[in-house]
Structure formats: structure tokens, C-alpha cells
Amino acid sequence: MVRSLDDQERIAALKKDTKALERLWSDRFVGNQPNNKVVADKRALMDALVPRSSYVRQIEFFRVDGDFAFIMGLETIVAATDAPGVGLVAGQPTRRRFTNVWKREGGTWRLYARHATVIADR
């Protein structure tokens, strides 16, 4: 269930589908942007999403522990437009290590916290 929701969240971010993100993200959601700024405002994070032409996640670790689920791995995004404020260049792949923390809230799972760090190409 959580893996499926995590993929729905990836697709919603790819499409900048704020209606789906509103459903999938906790009201207490906190995440960081590619410029390493931590943001605890769900609406501000949605507004800051950069249009993407591609977004792939490779899950390397998954565990459910009570009301929390942890997903970690590698993701690659390709920005559709330049976003110099966060270091993204249109058409250039950006690889990131990520951790998504999901929390069971009111009978469903919602993304509660997210961290992604840009890594250098090898």
C-alpha cells in the first residue's frame, strides 16, 4: 500500500498535480528543496515544484514500523525548465539520495517528511 502511494506521489510531483499532492502529503509535511532549504509549509513546497520531464525512483530500502513507513533510495529528475534558484538545468539529469517518511493518519498513509540530497555524477 505505502509503496503504491509513494509512486502516486512521484507521479503527482512529476505532473505538478497539487490536488493529488494535497491528498498524499500530511498537513504537517516537511521537506527540503534542491537548494537545501528546509520548508515546513506544504503549500510553499507545492508552489516551488519545478516542472519535470522525467522523474524516476529506485527504492533500495523499505520498512514499516508501527504508524511509520520509511522508503530510501536513489532518484533521478530531469527539469523541464531552468531553475537556477535551486540549481536545476533544463534537460540535465539530477541524481539525488532520498528518504521519504510516511505516517498513518486517520486510516490512510500520508507523506510526513522528505529529504533529498543532490549527489555528484560518478
pLDDT at position 105 is 97
Task: Give the model confidence (pLDDT) of 33-54 as tens digits.
Answer: 767 789 999 998 888 888 899 9
> In the chain, where are the structural domains located?
2-119
Q: Which residue has the higher pLDDT, 80 or 121?
A: 80
State the pTM of this model.
0.92
Q: Which residue has the higher pLDDT, 7 or 88?
A: 7
Assign domain 2-119 to its CATH architecture: Roll (3.10)
Higher pLDDT, 51 or 2: 2
Compute the distance between CA of residue 46 and CA of residue 60 in angstroms, rounded to an integer. 26
Q: Decide if 13 contacts 52 (C-beta within 8 A).
A: yes
Assign 18 to helix, strand or coil. helix
Is 4 a residue whose pLDDT tops 70?
yes
Note the pLDDT of residue 83: 87
Over residues 15-42, the mean pLDDT reads: 91
